[in-house]
Structure 1
Amino acid sequence: MARAITILLVGGSGHWAGRENHAPALLEMQQSGWPVRTAAICDPRNPEKRAQDEDMAPLRELLQKDSPEWINPDGLSRTELETVLDHAHATHRFSLVIIACNPVHHRDYILWAVSRGISVLCDKPLLVEEGAAYDPEAARRIIGGYEELDRALTRARATAPCHLAMPLRRRANDVYRSIASDITEIQQTHGQGITSMQLIKNGGLFRHPEEYLLGDAHGYRSGVGALSFSSYHYIDLLAWYLELAPGEATAVRVTNPYVRRVGDFLRTRQATALADLIDGPGATRIPELPPQVLAAEADFVFHLELRAEDGHKAGLVTYACHSNTYSHRTVGLQEFDRTNRQPFREKGRMSQFTLDINQGSIQHIGVFKNDVVGEDYRIRVQRRRNPVVTGEPYAEDVFHNAHAGSSVTPQDVLRAMVRLASGEAAPTQVADRISFFEDQRLSHHLFGTFYELIAMDAEGAKATERVVELAG
């Protein structure tokens, strides 16, 4: 049996950690006989109080079994926080830090952990800076932060294994891995890379105007918005596929032709039309929101022009995100929302996207999803190949319960990371589906570059662009 494993759970009072993923995964390991214990929860919200909510049963059970120390970081400077964490580490000797807090605080926790040789599993996005939607200096610190983490990991690994990974569902999911296999086959067999890829993501999360002031892990009050919420998943998906089948492309020229901020959105009829149906005409008011909320990104489009080594254009990748699209929300703002007890995704959030991939004239793949968050997801994949290269030119698959039904889930990734932190090997079926820091270099640079361009737009810059190398 592996040595005893102690966990520091940062953001453990949230729904993703306390209800949906982290707590259930750790409880399952305990039930299977693994000597794993959550020794401390670091969160400004009291976990004992949060556990009293009706839908937080996993957190309640975890508290009852492990009696973790509560660390309240509220109001602490970085130096003060490190002192508190060092004291907790001296007491508990953490094996693994699991981070599920507001992403603007990820860097402090990751750097503290890896500089002490502690492995980390961190939710997406790995790094983002407060005010990155409108402050170019803050946006530039994102890529600088990745470089800082790289150096810290190199130092830590000089003396002992130290892992930094993210529980990225799509990198591990059967649906997206089947697409990756098809793309790779055409690249390797015919030398044909991706020539066009378009992803349109619709968030479907309707917020009443004053709800932009609420939210725990993804609050707009931090001066960042939809790019930090779920977009990292899709940016990473595009980067992953592009790295698998680059064809002639060696670099991408990134431009940002469109961005709409929260303040822009609130000036449209779209901001109140559904609210009028729910609460009655004229019942919705537009409150005075702080400038960092109004400046946060809501909708955006990025173009990634593929460039060959000699500079010629090899294709185009487009990512469009529309936050406020169709929603099945039927309820207005309730009193418990005001105390951050109800996550917005339970009130009308959709999971909708269309992904269109072409590898020249040889292969086309279409991916379609249009579901209510919280229900079983269905993903339809259509693949066409030129009849010259296959006897089956058309194939279609519908993956039912596509997320929870995958052979590897985020909970599996978490449990594998616990095993790695204990000195054991990850299970074979999970080992190559863990998204380690070093596997996402292009994703990191694209994410940081996107924020640089959004921030430059806020300053009125015109015709801005960035070039990102595909390798190195």
Structure 2
Amino acid sequence: MARTTTVLLVGGSGHWAGRENHAPALLDMKRSGWPVRTAVICDPRDPEKRARDEDMTPLRELLRVDTPDWLNPDGLSRSELEAVLDRAHATHRFSLVIIACSPVHHYVYLAWAISRGVSVLCDKPLLATEGAAYNPSAAQSITGGYTELENALARARASRPCHVAMPLRRRANDVYRSIASDITEMQRAYGQGITSMQMIKNGGLFRHPEEYLFGDAHGYRSGVGALSFSSYHYIDLLSWYLELAPGEAVAMRVTNPYLRRVGEFLRTRQATTLADLIDGRGPNPIPDLPSEVVAAEADFVFHLELLGENGQKVGLVTYACHSNTYSHRSVGLQEFDQTDQQPFREKGRMSQFSLDINQGSLQHIGVFKNDVVGEDYQIRVQRRRNPVLTDVSYVDEIFHNAHAGSSVTPQDVLRAMVRLASGDAAPAQVADRIAFFEDQRLSHRLFGAFYELIAASAGGDLACSRESGPAERFVELRR
């Protein structure tokens, strides 16, 4: 039996960690006999109180069986936090750090763990920075932070194994991997890469204006918005497919033709129509919100022009995110929202998207999803190949319960990381579905470039310095 895996769970009082993924996976490993213990929960919210006040049965059970210490990082400077973590590490000797807090705090915990040679499982996005939606320096530090962590990880691995990964559902999911296989096959057989790819993502997360001040890991008070929420999943999906089938493309010219910030959205009728209906009290004035909330990104479109060796255009990738689309929400502002007890899915969040992929004239793949978050998901995939390539040129397939029903889930990835951190091997079925740090180079570079373009357009009455910069970024596709 491998040695005990001792876990530091950062953000363990949140819904994703305490109810939906991390705590259940850790408890399952304990029930199966694997020696794992959550020694410390680091979160400004008291985990005992969260477990009592909410439907957080897995967190409550984890607290009962592991009796972890509670570390409250609120108000600590970086050096103070590192000192506290060092003392906890000296006591417990952490094998694995699981990071599930606000993305703007990921870097501090990642840097601390990597520099001490401790393996990490970090939720998406890998790192974001406060004020990145309007502060060009903050936006630029996203890419710089990745490079710093990359160098630190190389130093750590010189003396001992150190694994850093993200539980990215789509990298592990059967549906998306089947698409990856089709794309790769066309690249290898005919050298035909992706020539056009369009992703339209609709969030449906309806917020009353006051609720832009609320939220746990994905609040807007840090000066970042929808791009730091679920967008990283789709950026990574596009990056993954492009790396599998680049064709002639060697670089991308990235532009931001459309951007709507929270303040701009709140000046439209769209911001209040549903609120008027579900509150039943008629139009209400928009409250004054802090400048960092007003400046955060709500809706956006990015174009990635695919460029060949000589700068010729060989294709186009488009990512469009509309946060405020159809919503399933039917309840008004709740009193307990103000104490962050209302999980995001109760605010009407939808999981809607369409993805259209073409590999020249040889292959087309269409992917469609339209579900309420929290329900069983269905994903429809339509595949067409030119008849000269196959006897079956069209396939229409619906994957039922597509997320939870996948042969590998985020909980499987977490359990595999526990094994890796213990010095054991990951299960063969999971090993090649883990999104490791080094797999995120292109994804994170695009994520950073997107924020650089968003920040470059900030100005007017926003609380930031206006920077006149180029409205484009160039990103190398091939490593």
* TM-score of the superposed pair, with normalisation by structure 2: 0.98
What secondary structure is seen at the aligned counterpart in 1 of 2:80? helix
Tell me whether 232-241 or 340-349 shows the greater mean CA deviation.
340-349
Shift of 1:463: 5.7
Following the alignment from structure 2 to structure 1, what is the Cα–Cα distance between the partners of residues 188 and 416?
Answer: 30
Q: Which residue of structure 2 lines up, in the alignment, with residue 247 of structure 1? A: 247
Q: Which runs of 4+ in 1 moved over 3 A?
A: 459-463
Following the alignment from structure 2 to structure 1, what is the Cα–Cα distance between the partners of residues 284 and 227?
Answer: 26
Following the alignment from structure 1 to structure 2, what is the Cα–Cα distance between the partners of residues 362 and 315?
Answer: 14
Q: Which residue of structure 1 lines up, in the alignment, with residue 256 of structure 2? A: 256
Report whether the alignment pairs 1:56 with 2:56.
Answer: yes
Give structure 1 stretches of 5+ with no counterpart. none
Deviations 1:197-243 (A, max 9, x none): 00000000000000000001011000000000000000000000000
Q: Which residue of structure 2 lines up, in the alignment, with residue 190 of structure 1? A: 190
Letter in 2 for 1:471: R
Tell me whether 337-346 or 114-123 shows the greater mean CA deviation.
337-346
Shift of 1:283: 4.8
What secondary structure is seen at the aligned counterpart in 2 of 1:27? helix
Which runs of structure 2 are paired with 1:103-118 in the superposition (5 Å)?
103-118=103-118
What secondary structure is seen at the aligned counterpart in 2 of 1:249? coil
Kept in 2: contact 1:346–1:374 (CA 8 A)? no
Deviations 1:106-157 (A, max 9, x none): 0000000010000000000001000000000000000000000001100100
Q: Which residue of structure 2 lines up, in the alignment, with residue 470 of structure 1? A: 477
Kept in 2: contact 1:209–1:285 (CA 8 A)? no
Q: Which residue of structure 1 lines up, in the alignment, with residue 462 of structure 2? A: none
Tell me whether 275-284 or 415-424 shows the greater mean CA deviation.
275-284
How many residue pairs get matched? 472
Kept in 1: contact 2:367–2:380 (CA 8 A)? yes
Tell me whether 45-54 or 355-364 shows the greater mean CA deviation.
45-54
Kept in 1: contact 2:26–2:36 (CA 8 A)? yes
Q: Which residue of structure 1 lines up, in the alignment, with residue 37 of structure 2? A: 37
Report whether the alignment pairs 1:80 with 2:80.
Answer: yes
Q: Which residue of structure 1 lines up, in the alignment, with residue 23 of structure 2? A: 23
Letter in 2 for 1:232: Y
Q: Which residue of structure 2 lines up, in the alignment, with residue 424 of structure 1? A: 424
Kept in 2: contact 1:119–1:164 (CA 8 A)? yes
Give structure 2 stretches of 5+ with no counterpart. 460-465
Deviations 1:254-286 (A, max 9, x none): 000011000000000000000111012525331
Letter in 1 for 2:475: V
What secondary structure is seen at the aligned counterpart in 2 of 1:223? coil
Letter in 2 for 1:467: F
Which runs of structure 2 are paired with 1:341-380 in the superposition (5 Å)?
341-380=341-380
Which runs of structure 2 are paired with 1:257-406 in the superposition (5 Å)?
257-406=257-406
* TM-score of the superposed pair, with normalisation by structure 1: 0.99
Shift of 1:55: 1.2
Following the alignment from structure 1 to structure 2, what is the Cα–Cα distance between the partners of residues 117 and 398?
Answer: 43
Tell me whether 146-155 or 275-284 shows the greater mean CA deviation.
275-284
Q: Which residue of structure 1 lines up, in the alignment, with residue 10 of structure 2? A: 10
Return closer, same or farther for 1:277/1:462 CA change in 2, 3 Å cut-off: farther
Kept in 1: contact 2:168–2:410 (CA 8 A)? yes
Following the alignment from structure 1 to structure 2, what is the Cα–Cα distance between the partners of residues 116 and 55?
Answer: 35
Shift of 1:345: 1.8
Kept in 1: contact 2:130–2:224 (CA 8 A)? yes
Shift of 1:452: 0.1
Letter in 2 for 1:69: D
Following the alignment from structure 1 to structure 2, what is the Cα–Cα distance between the partners of residues 71 and 283?
Answer: 43
Q: Which residue of structure 1 lines up, in the alignment, with residue 238 of structure 2? A: 238
Kept in 1: contact 2:279–2:333 (CA 8 A)? no
Following the alignment from structure 1 to structure 2, what is the Cα–Cα distance between the partners of residues 463 and 11?
Answer: 37
Tell me whether 305-314 or 460-469 shows the greater mean CA deviation.
460-469
Kept in 1: contact 2:163–2:436 (CA 8 A)? yes
Kept in 2: contact 1:196–1:317 (CA 8 A)? yes
Deviations 1:334-383 (A, max 9, x none): 11111110112222100000000000000000000000000000000000
Q: Which residue of structure 2 lines up, in the alignment, with residue 214 of structure 1? A: 214
Tell me whether 298-307 or 45-54 shows the greater mean CA deviation.
45-54
What secondary structure is seen at the aligned counterpart in 1 of 2:52? coil
